[in-house]
Structure 1
Amino acid sequence: MKIYSKHTLALLLSLSLLSGCDQGFTELNTNQVDPTSLAPSMVLNKGIINTNYLDGFGTLGMLTYNFGIVQQIITPYGSSLSGANYDQINNGNTVLVWTNFYRNVLKQLVAVIEQTKNDPLQVNTYQTARIWKAYMFMILTDTYGDVPYFEAGQGYTTEIITPKYDPQQTIYKDILKELDEASAALTTVQAPVVTDILYGGNVAQWKKLGYSFMLRAAMRLTKVEPATAESYVKKAVAGGVFQSNADNSILRHTSTYNNFIANHLAAREKTNFYLAAPFVNYLKENNDPRLRVFAVRYVGAKGGQEQVAARATSDPQQQIGMPMGYNDVTITTVLAQNNVASLWDFSQVNLNTVLKLDAPEFHITYAQTQLLLAEATVRGWVSGTAAEYFARGVRAHLDQMASYGATLSETAIKTYLDAHPLDASKALEQINTQYWVASFLDGTEAFANFRRSGYPALKKNPYPGSEVKGDFIRRMPYPDSEIVVNSAQLNEAVARQGPNTLDTRVWWDKK
């Protein structure tokens, strides 16, 4: 009996101890600082950041295609860096806009829109997400043509995992509608969303952003639907577009959160990419003060290890762009005639100014907006004088150099403007060539406007192994993965749009 009592007592004591240990167990094992949900405004910020890619490797689409097609930055190297330098398909890099935007950016934006569309307290977050989604799809459809649009991003909400591809014409009409509605619906009644990464919740600036995107989207249609273009250009102007550089849409960086293009070119690709001769020559021949900001040359360098500060110069007269059409072997045949010691002696993008690790990236700017208004004025769609819009646009971009820590003097700016007034007889060429310069490092926009306007008047890349039948690459091919997971819808798009090649023109890119 005593033995039984002892065991019973021990059992009761154990149960008591276990019960005591369980007190507060749930609270103890709950992470009090790890969020289980995020405010929609913060998710929207993530979508905006992801638009500029998630890492340095994502920038290879820009570096190997966009910059090379518009002949601003080029590489003589092939393999993983082949693209516009050889006018060839590189499946590893043509897909990067597609994979990033559908897998990352769209996912964030759809989540925000679904969470806020019926919440009267989050009207502005909802409308700004619509504006950014429209911008995101402009880049997607400009890059590939017909793409999944209305059914895109609905895998979780409606279980559509094989979305249909919508015609670009239909997509653009909805983009314009979305920008129109969302910009008008933004309200100053509600408190600003101060966590907004672009404007700190400033509704007036978001309205100007929406209408400036509308102007850009409308001008895409100048060759295919001029009446629609004119209508929406007028709506954008009436709504209110950017009024100064203070309105620019900027992704800012720091020494820890880097500009990814800068990060890439400062590290593994430092000796691989060079400023292209057509770009350098245009700036040099026109005594453009921006060349000093954009360029650096390591004079006499005979290898990457000799690209050192002691050799560096940003003197415009010393800059030599790399000619188009050569690889790392054949380039040696034209070194002497270009007065360089080696391929490493050509000019590069300046890593101390426009591509510092903390250099900003721009989505759309006052300079670009003024230049588009100059063209719209030439077309008779906007009141005012094209020359004034043109001068304001060029000045705005010259002033924009200050954001890279390279402020141009008023004397330099005025000298350049006085020497380059708008000539009415070649206005469209002048305006869009300046747009080319003002879009430097904004590869998707430079590529799109070059196709739309036909300017600058670049010559075909003369590389002998070109896979392009026409003069220039017109679009990026769809990813091979789509053949596996969504072949029926892809085939329908190809049948409608044309072969899945670099030559096929998107709808608004009419000859």
Structure 2
Amino acid sequence: MKNIYLAAALLVTLLPACDDGLAELNENPDAYSDIVPEFLFTKAQLDAVDISYFGTAALTIGGSMQQFATYKEVPAAGDKYFNDGYSKSYFSEAYPTAVNQIQEVIRSVSENPEDVNKLSVARIWRVYIFHHITDLYGDVPYTEAGKGSIEKIYTPKYDEQSFIYEDMLTELEEAAHALDPSQPTFGNADLMYGGSVEQWEKFAYSLMLRLGMRLSEVDATAAQNWVQKAITGGVILEDSDLAAIEYVDGSQIDSRNPIAWALMRGDYLDPQNEDNVEGGKLAKTFIDHLKNTGDPRLNVFSVLWVQSPTGEYVADTATALQQGMPNAAFNSKPADFASYSEPNPNTILKYDAPLLVLTNAEVHLLLAEAAVRGWYNGDAAEAYESAVRAGMRQWSHFGSGGEIATNRIDAYVNSNPFPAAGTLEEKMEAIHTQKWVSLFLDEYEIFAEWRRTGYPDLVPTNYPGNLTGGSIPTRFVLPDSEETINGPNFLEAVSRQGEGNLLTSKVWWDK
């Protein structure tokens, strides 16, 4: 044993002398030893919108918000409130990918004053990443997150959500002010705006508007302050400024729309098979609302697979055929399973469909709410109508199957006017039920706004053995690994929030 250590020591001593350039042979010529911020920012954008969509967004939130349904028990995290496992995945996936990536981008562009736009955009995108995490879980690692590689912080503290929100809003304000059109940007490495400083500024203020309004029930004074700052700064109002990431169909999975890929792989892969992977369909509550209001988006979102004379199944968008599956109604495949509607393969399930990150439809609805609250001197009815029209036009980005004729939009607007003479609650219900439809596929924001406002008015399910006592989940559950790996910080946060690490716990702003 002693001779082995002596030989190893000698080898180490001789290595520098006999290197003679051999070290260079061990270097990968196709790899970078230094961070390339442009590449890493692109990756941070892609990963931020591709975090566990099927389990967390479709199954957990989509089911509980009654836009998706399933007859099976295992995937019924939101349909039957039957497991909390899927809710843990977002946390586990976000930190090693998007959080770490954007933190490294910020570090790499913080020294050179000419990188001010890259730094500002990275700070804005970091807020986008973290607002989803904290909205789902409440208190989370924030100030110390993503600092393992340099500062060796491997067990980051959990910051209080009230502090996280204050800091995120300050970050947006400072980053927006720092943007400088005379300095370089990420250019084509920026998949949303191609480096446009003007559009990133609008995105920052629109995100500020979203987050400011999130405080409405917990701190109305702060909410009004941030909402008015955002409106003054300038928000996304035109179709041309909505934030979206484009994708292409091809052999590379990473180039495909992650929502379409997740839904196809997770449930709807074989339309010629009457059983889906996880027994999923579109939900009755969602389809009934679209039909009852004469909403032309029904034909954009939904199809029924009908058998043709040749025996193949074809996607039929006819309004009369569409039927949603009731949530938590079955524990085995219903005999009429094939009669329930599924996502449209020519829009929702297209691999080359864009992913809408933040739209002018949402911004106009936020402005309508601000007007109703007296925080904005615009007309609530006009903002509402602008939102409805933009929310219908946006689906044209999904191809010809998403185009809605102007006369159909006009007919819907005329049949579903804003209740300008109604009560505050009637106005809020109209705004947020519209948001529930307009933001379809952005389940995270739908879930957040339902918790903040209580709209749309959803009737909970009470499936035997559910984990919530028959109430709709209000928070995601932190993964079990946190108690093992980061125990003291995790336990402190759970204790501080006071309701346990449960689906029925609430985040700070949810009153």
Does the pair score TM above 0.5? yes
Deviation at 1:373, TM superposition (A): 0.7
1:423 lines up with 2:419 in the alignment: yes
Deviation at 1:153, TM superposition (A): 1.3
Secondary structure at the counterpart of residue 357 of structure 2: strand
Look up the equivalent residue of 2:427 and give its one-letter code.
Answer: A
Q: 1:409 matched to which residue of 2?
A: 405
Q: 1:261 matched to which residue of 2?
A: 259
Query: What do residues 364-390 of structure 1 show as CA deviations (whole Å, max 9, x unaligned)?
Result: 111001101100110000111000000
Deviation at 1:265, TM superposition (A): 2.8
Q: Following the alignment from structure 2 to structure 1, what is the Cα–Cα distance between the partners of residues 297 and 480?
A: 40
Q: Following the alignment from structure 1 to structure 2, what is the Cα–Cα distance between the partners of residues 446 and 53?
A: 17
Deviation at 1:31, TM superposition (A): 5.0
Q: Following the alignment from structure 1 to structure 2, what is the Cα–Cα distance between the partners of residues 144 and 162?
A: 17
Look up the equivalent residue of 1:446 and give its one-letter code.
Answer: I
Look up the equivalent residue of 2:433 and give its one-letter code.
Answer: T
Look up the equivalent residue of 2:316 and give its one-letter code.
Answer: T
Deviation at 1:264, TM superposition (A): 3.0
Deviation at 1:44, TM superposition (A): 1.1
Q: Following the alignment from structure 1 to structure 2, what is the Cα–Cα distance between the partners of residues 509 and 467?
A: 20
Secondary structure at the counterpart of residue 244 of structure 2: strand
1:64-143 alignment to 2 at 5 Å? 64-79=59-74, 81-91=75-85, 93-143=86-136
1:360 lines up with 2:354 in the alignment: yes
Query: What do residues 434-484 of structure 1 show as CA deviations (whole Å, max 9, x unaligned)?
Result: 000011011111111111111001101232332113621000111000010
Query: What do residues 353-372 of structure 1 show as CA deviations (whole Å, max 9, x unaligned)?
Result: 12211111112111001101
Deviation at 1:326, TM superposition (A): 2.2
1:282 lines up with 2:289 in the alignment: yes
Q: 2:272 matched to which residue of 1?
A: none
1:330-479 alignment to 2 at 5 Å? 332=334, 342-405=336-399, 406-424=402-420, 425=422, 426-469=426-469, 471-479=471-479
Look up the equivalent residue of 1:468 and give its one-letter code.
Answer: T
Secondary structure at the counterpart of residue 303 of structure 2: strand
- Of residues 7, 32, 36, the one that matches 2:33 is 36
Deviation at 1:198, TM superposition (A): 1.2
RMSD: 2.0
1:503 lines up with 2:497 in the alignment: no
Deviation at 1:53, TM superposition (A): 1.9
Query: What do residues 489-509 of structure 1 show as CA deviations (whole Å, max 9, x unaligned)?
Result: 111111111211000111101
Distance 1:26 1:63, change over 3 A: same
Q: Following the alignment from structure 2 to structure 1, what is the Cα–Cα distance between the partners of residues 22 and 42?
A: 36
Q: Following the alignment from structure 1 to structure 2, what is the Cα–Cα distance between the partners of residues 53 and 130?
A: 19
Q: Following the alignment from structure 2 to structure 1, what is the Cα–Cα distance between the partners of residues 126 and 459?
A: 35
Query: What do residues 409-454 of structure 1 show as CA deviations (whole Å, max 9, x unaligned)?
Result: 1111111111111103111000000000011011111111111111
Secondary structure at the counterpart of residue 157 of structure 1: helix
Deviation at 1:33, TM superposition (A): 4.2
Look up the equivalent residue of 1:459 and give its one-letter code.
Answer: V
Q: Following the alignment from structure 1 to structure 2, what is the Cα–Cα distance between the partners of residues 442 and 430?
A: 19
Contact map agreement 2:84 2:503 (CA 8 A) in 1: no
Q: Following the alignment from structure 1 to structure 2, what is the Cα–Cα distance between the partners of residues 352 and 279?
A: 19
Look up the equivalent residue of 2:257 and give its one-letter code.
Answer: N
- Of residues 42, 46, 49, the one that matches 2:43 is 46
Q: Percent identity among equivalent residues?
A: 38
1:229 lines up with 2:233 in the alignment: no
Secondary structure at the counterpart of residue 304 of structure 2: strand
1:193 lines up with 2:186 in the alignment: yes
Deviation at 1:34, TM superposition (A): 3.6
Secondary structure at the counterpart of residue 148 of structure 2: coil
Query: What do residues 114-142 of structure 1 show as CA deviations (whole Å, max 9, x unaligned)?
Result: 11122111111101111011111110011
Q: 2:10 matched to which residue of 1?
A: none
Deviation at 1:174, TM superposition (A): 0.6
Q: Which moved more, 1:449-458 or 1:69-78?
A: 69-78
Q: Following the alignment from structure 2 to structure 1, what is the Cα–Cα distance between the partners of residues 469 and 223?
A: 30
Q: Following the alignment from structure 1 to structure 2, what is the Cα–Cα distance between the partners of residues 155 and 30?
A: 25
Contact map agreement 1:324 1:463 (CA 8 A) in 2: no
Q: Following the alignment from structure 1 to structure 2, what is the Cα–Cα distance between the partners of residues 409 and 389?
A: 21
Distance 1:371 1:58, change over 3 A: closer
Q: 1:160 matched to which residue of 2?
A: 153
Secondary structure at the counterpart of residue 326 of structure 1: coil
Look up the equivalent residue of 1:266 and give its one-letter code.
Answer: M
Contact map agreement 2:462 2:469 (CA 8 A) in 1: no
Q: Following the alignment from structure 1 to structure 2, what is the Cα–Cα distance between the partners of residues 234 and 470?
A: 39
Deviation at 1:165, TM superposition (A): 0.9
TM-score, normalised to structure 2, is 0.88
Q: 1:335 matched to which residue of 2?
A: none
Distance 1:116 1:427, change over 3 A: same
Contact map agreement 2:462 2:470 (CA 8 A) in 1: no
Contact map agreement 2:463 2:470 (CA 8 A) in 1: no
Q: Following the alignment from structure 2 to structure 1, what is the Cα–Cα distance between the partners of residues 21 and 509?
A: 64
Deviation at 1:75, TM superposition (A): 1.5
Query: What do residues 86-109 of structure 1 show as CA deviations (whole Å, max 9, x unaligned)?
Result: 212232x11221112111001111
Look up the equivalent residue of 2:60 and give its one-letter code.
Answer: Y
Q: Following the alignment from structure 1 to structure 2, what is the Cα–Cα distance between the partners of residues 123 and 210?
A: 15
TM-score, normalised to structure 1, is 0.88
Distance 1:349 1:204, change over 3 A: same
Query: What do residues 271-296 of structure 1 show as CA deviations (whole Å, max 9, x unaligned)?
Result: 13211000000000001000000001
Look up the equivalent residue of 1:326 and give its one-letter code.
Answer: A
Contact map agreement 1:65 1:83 (CA 8 A) in 2: yes
Secondary structure at the counterpart of residue 441 of structure 1: coil
Look up the equivalent residue of 2:49 and give its one-letter code.
Answer: N
Stretches of structure 1 lacking an aligned partner (at least 5 in a row): 1-21, 333-340
Q: Following the alignment from structure 2 to structure 1, what is the Cα–Cα distance between the partners of residues 489 and 165?
A: 19
Q: Following the alignment from structure 2 to structure 1, what is the Cα–Cα distance between the partners of residues 155 and 186?
A: 35
Query: What do residues 124-178 of structure 1 show as CA deviations (whole Å, max 9, x unaligned)?
Result: 1101111011111110011011111111111122212111111111111111111
Q: Following the alignment from structure 1 to structure 2, what is the Cα–Cα distance between the partners of residues 149 and 23?
A: 46
Distance 1:320 1:116, change over 3 A: same
Q: Following the alignment from structure 1 to structure 2, what is the Cα–Cα distance between the partners of residues 143 and 264?
A: 20
Q: Following the alignment from structure 2 to structure 1, what is the Cα–Cα distance between the partners of residues 234 and 383?
A: 15
Q: 1:220 matched to which residue of 2?
A: 214
Which is higher, the Rg of structure 1 or of structure 2?
Answer: 1
Q: Following the alignment from structure 1 to structure 2, what is the Cα–Cα distance between the partners of residues 218 and 145?
A: 16
1:319 lines up with 2:325 in the alignment: no
Contact map agreement 1:69 1:84 (CA 8 A) in 2: yes
Contact map agreement 2:354 2:398 (CA 8 A) in 1: yes
Query: What do residues 172-209 of structure 1 show as CA deviations (whole Å, max 9, x unaligned)?
Result: 11111111111111110113431222111100000000
Q: Following the alignment from structure 2 to structure 1, what is the Cα–Cα distance between the partners of residues 120 and 493?
A: 30
Stretches of structure 2 lacking an aligned partner (at least 5 in a row): 1-18, 269-275
